[in-house]
Amino acid sequence: MDNVSPPERPRTPGPLTQPGQQNPPGQPGQPVPPLPAARPAGQRHSTGWIIGGIALILVLLMITFFCGTCFVLSVFLGGRSFKGDGVALIEVQGVLTSSGGGTGMFEYGCSADMLVEQLHRARKDDRVKAVLLRIDSPGGTPAAAEEVYTEIRRTMEEKPVVVSIGDMGASAAYFIASATDYIMASPDSDVGSIGVIVQIPNLEELNRKIGLDYTIITEGEYKDIGSPYRPVTPQEHAIIEGQMKVAYDNLIKGIAEGREMEEARIRELATGQTWPGVQALELGLIDELGNYRDAAETAGRMGGIEGDVYLIDMSSGSPFSLFSELVSAMKEIANSMEMLRGGGTTETTPIKR
């Protein structure tokens, strides 16, 4: 029998291959589509920055809208709540610094510039017959406390100022309380802590263990004084102690003047410890035991108010306070983005009273 070759199977026509392109094995006549070109690395990074920038702008717009809404409501509603004579309420809460609240995104505190502004507005407001400072603070920086202390003394030339201490009125917070006409505290309030402290961490051993090294380039012998990446030298220790003594002496002098006590007596009490309200009364650090409402009544009577005493919250309706909050929020967002990128700086811990 003659060998008959099987008929060839007709091939399904496919798309033509591109010139210079090889057909893959096993698939004759089938073209391979070209691979997509890889996006340059710089383009990928730029896209990420664009997205991050858009997100930041949206967050800032939301913050601006929120603060603007609060401002409008405070102007149209807050100003109508009370029209008679009353006592200005100013709150000193958390760590006291010159500007901004605290030193981190979630740090609880208050700023000297905010308190100075509120004291100034209370002094110029004809409705305000006296000022009540509600203090619940462990202290703060010397410069911030001195700013508030000075503004309190100015206010006292026109209107009486009374302090109510809550859980704590210590260190720099007690310093500003001592400037007022009258101090009241609860029996168990922590009062005092007259002293100065500087905290400088030493991360040298930790960095050595994890293999982390820093290159610090300075101009000026003491430019990096207080650096956490090395021990403090004897010369630097002497410089810091000298600065602390200046702050300590100013602290003693200010409290002595405010409480009308001898400096020698204040130095005896300036051990850094706190006393409960009952002991603080015996030591002459406060004038009377009483709660927040007692202090408000005392302030009202000292201001010549008869009958019920109404409080006027100086933190509401202030364009300055809303603007300050907006700026602080923007700064915190910028700092957070910098930390996420791996940047940021380390600053020496400020002297705190």
The beta strand positions in 143-212, using DSSP E, are 161-170, 182-185, 190-192
Mean pLDDT confidence for 283-289: 97
| Distance between CA atoms of residues 133 and 123, nearest Å | 13
Each residue's pLDDT tens digit, 96-120: 998 865 444 445 689 999 999 999 9
| Residue 79 CA neighbour count, 13 Å, CB half | 11
What confidence tier does 125 reach under pLDDT thresholds 50, 70, 90?
Answer: very high
| Distance between CA atoms of residues 323 and 71, nearest Å | 9
* 109 or 146, greater pLDDT: 146
Is the alpha carbon torsion for 250, 251, 252, 256 positive or negative? Answer: positive
| Spatial contact of 165 and 111, defined as CB atoms under 8 Å apart | no
Rounded to 10 deg, the angle between the 142-156 and 234-259 helix axes is 20
Residues belonging to the active site? 171, 223
The residues spanned by each domain of the chain are: 50-340
What confidence tier does 52 reach under pLDDT thresholds 50, 70, 90?
Answer: confident
Return the CATH fold of 50-340. Answer: 2-enoyl-CoA Hydratase; Chain A, domain 1 (3.90.226)
* 232 or 339, greater pLDDT: 232
pLDDT of 343 strictly over 50:
no
pLDDT for 34? 62
Pairing between strand 182-185 and 161-170? parallel
Provide the residue type at 307 as one letter. Answer: G
Read off the pTM. Answer: 0.69
What confidence tier does 53 reach under pLDDT thresholds 50, 70, 90?
Answer: confident
What confidence tier does 164 reach under pLDDT thresholds 50, 70, 90?
Answer: very high
Contacts of 240 (CB under 8 A, 6+ apart): 198, 200, 225, 226, 232
